[in-house]
Amino acid sequence: MAVNPEAVGRTYGPFEAYEVTRVKIREFADAVDARSGAHFYPEVARAEGYTDVVVPTTFAVVIAQQAEFHVVTDPEVGVDFSKVVHADERFTHHRPLVAGDVVTTTVTIESITQRAGISMVTTRAEIVDGDNAPVSTVVSTLAVREDA
């Protein structure tokens, strides 16, 4: 079964708020080997001009992927997750994401391109704060192998 190209433009969310905590930041920084003290110590982060511990630049993927889950599990889109390979991820940060932030995410299917038995599904996740001000935009592309 092919991914449904008519799903382009479909939007999901906003979803339950995500609270960014020091623990989550530290765990992610450890996982990606981000060694800046600003990811671990509030006093270092404040000395660098942040209000609290700041996330590594790719942390927004944790939040975005929770929203993207709704795309890949929507039967009308037709993504078979067992046939997915992550193809691309791009970040636009509008402001630093720090411990204490509470954000929500809306995800939109930007495009679906099909060729040679592969569907390239591109989504845009918009992460906003409690005032609905932009925090990060995450554009992700999944390659979905079609049935033979």
Considering the entire predicted model, what is its pTM? 0.93
Cβ atoms of 104 and 30 within 8 Å: the answer is no
> If we measure between CA atoms, which residue out of 97, 108, 12, 111 comes closest to residue 62?
97
Report the distance separating Cα 62 and Cα 85, nearest Å: 17
Greatest alpha-carbon span in the chain: 56
Over its length of 148 residues, how does the chain's per-residue pLDDT go in tens digits?
689 999 999 999 998 999 999 999 999 999 999 999 999 999 999 999 999 999 999 999 999 999 999 999 999 999 999 999 999 999 999 999 999 999 999 999 999 999 999 999 999 999 999 999 999 999 999 999 987 6
Question: From its phi and psi, is residue 116 left (phi > 0), alpha (psi between -120 and 50) or beta?
Answer: left
